[in-house]
Amino acid sequence: EELPNEDNQAEVEIIEAPVAPETATEADDRGPNPRYLLEGIVVRGNHKTRAAMILKVLGLKSGDVVTAADRRVSAARSRLLALGYFLDVRLSMDKGRSRGSAILVVEVEERGTVIINGLYLGTSEATSMWGGLDVAETNLLGHGVLLSGGLVRSTTPKVPGSRAGEAYRLGIAVPLFDLDGPWITANLLYAHGSEFFRAFGDTQDVNPSDHVAANTRRLGARGGLGVLLSRTTKFYAEGRVERLGANLPDVRSRDLGLGRAERIDFSIAEGESHLASVLLSLEVDTRDDPFLPRAGNRLLFSLESGMGAAFADYSFSKGVLAYSHHLPIGKRRHSFALHAFGGLIHGNAPYFDRFFVADLNQLLPPRALGQNFSTLPSFNLFENAINEHRFGDYAGRVMLEYGVALWRGRGFFYRADLFTGVGLFALTQAHDLRLRSSSVYEALPIDVTADFGVRLD
């Protein structure tokens, strides 16, 4: 039956099962850990999420026999919280109509399901202004459908030959059967902008006139299938195709001074080209919260293969391994987190798929929807060759982060954490390791990265 609650807003669903006399006798409510036969399940507090979807994720059904300390009950609560749709989930028992039976009551407190994936706003020596937004609705119409979109635009950079940058993305993810079942995804991307490459001057100089611009247009689509292998483990497979158009500058070598020069590696084919790849990823996530975690781990491994063939111009393999460990302190007001990242590329990946220094060093402005708007190099605190490596085939980073809760509430901002972190990163290219004429320290340069700010949920 579907019945309105007292405020006539939330959907309440009661699913009842007939109680057989012999089954009810087995569900004895005597002893230190009594067992109960679930006569029905009631869902309360769900204003947006359909009760049927909650019941499918719950993992319990009418007719099951449970105890007060049943692990399935705590696991059901964890599964619902992991969806990211609820601030809190409370499970309790009400008396049933007969001895040994009970009604499971699931009370959910819903949260906002609009997520800001990216907020882009900046200025640099090379680009006077850029801005944009990337948002997602993770529970469209209460059916667990994720709809997302993003855009970013910039003024015309001051690098000779460059053009104003723009990028647009639209994506959707739809569960095939229920919220913890397989899901399919689709994404569309259009981007047109410039990437900057140094042609003159010292590596510490950010003067835009010392750089040249490669103007690239991208039109691509992605489609994939995800599977939940367990409560904490997800597997995802995705295919990607893109049509690229690149205009390279007339200056194609870098002036090193004293009559020396070297060819600029633009990592993009001139004119029209095509990109096709397959991505496989595995994620294991045991964190206690998907937004501001205090405890648990997250491990992500992905492997992408670019298929160089008659229909594609780029053949490469890219592997990425990322790990985070969160450790609470005291009553979870404080926490430490260790973040580690490693990746390698083999082959001729386009520059927007290669590891980029500003994606590793959080003191630099990162790319926005694949667009870069800055010529700023890394700070090079160890005085090595890190400034020679804006793009790389091998990358790694380790960061230690400390966070403290500022407030917890039920207003527009549910929670806020103050955080600070510091770490080291490394970025280099394959040929610098194979044909190095200097020390390993110079061939595998490292630098310091840091971050500080407030995270709002």
Q: Are strands 271-285 and 334-347 parallel, antiparallel or unpaired?
A: unpaired
Assign 183 a pLDDT band (cuts: 50, 70, 90).
Answer: very high
Higher pLDDT: 76 or 167? It is: 167
- Angle subtended by helix axes 71-82 and 51-58, to nearest 10: 130
pLDDT at 24 over 50: no
Cβ-Cβ contacts under 8 Å for 24 (sequence gap 6 or more): 37, 98, 99, 100, 101
Q: What is the pLDDT of residues 40-62, one digit of tens each?
A: 889 998 888 888 878 888 878 88
- The percentage of the chain sitting over the pLDDT mark of 70, rounded to a whole number, equals 89
What pLDDT does residue 438 have? 63
> For residues 414 and 350, which has the higher predicted lDDT (pLDDT)?
350
What mean pLDDT comes out for the span 22-49? 70
239-290, pLDDT tens digit by residue? 999 999 999 999 999 998 888 899 999 999 999 999 999 999 999 999 988 8
Average of pLDDT values for 29-39? 70
Per-residue pLDDT tens over the stretch 340-386:
999 999 999 999 999 999 999 999 999 999 999 999 999 988 888 88
pLDDT score of 318: 97
Does 311 score more than 50 pLDDT?
A: yes
pLDDT, one tens digit per residue, over 106-136 is: 999 888 888 898 999 999 999 999 999 999 9
Q: Which is more confidently placed, 40 or 448? A: 448
Q: What is the pLDDT of residue 213?
A: 97
Q: What is the DSSP letter of 144?
A: T
pLDDT digits (tens, 9 = 90+) for 65-111: 887 677 888 788 877 887 778 888 998 888 888 888 888 899 998 88
Its pTM stands at 0.82
pLDDT value at 30 more than 60: no
Query: Rounded to an integer, what distance in angstroms lies between the CA atom of residue 165 and that of residue 374?
Result: 12
How far is Cα 154 from Cα 381, in angstroms, rounded to an integer? Answer: 30
Q: What is residue 74's predicted lDDT score, i.e. its pLDDT?
A: 78
pLDDT of residue 169: 98
For the chain, what percent of residues have pLDDT higher than 90?
55
Write out the E strands in 248-393.
Answer: 253-257, 260-263, 271-285, 296-306, 316-329, 334-347, 355-356, 391-392
29 vs 433, higher pLDDT: 433
- Asked if 58 and 79 touch (Cβ cutoff 8 Å), the reply is yes
DSSP state of 34: -
Which residue, among 155, 218, 165, has the nearest Cα to 195 in the 3D structure? 165
Tell me the CB-side half-sphere exposure of residue 234, using CA atoms within 13 A: 21
Q: What is the mean pLDDT of the chain?
A: 86
**For residue 419, what is the enclosing H or E element?**
strand 415-428
Confidence of residue 160 (pLDDT cuts 50, 70, 90): very high
How confident is the model at residue 242, as a pLDDT?
Answer: 97
In the predicted model, what is the mean pLDDT of residues 294-302? 95
200-219 pLDDT tens trace = 988 888 899 999 999 999 99
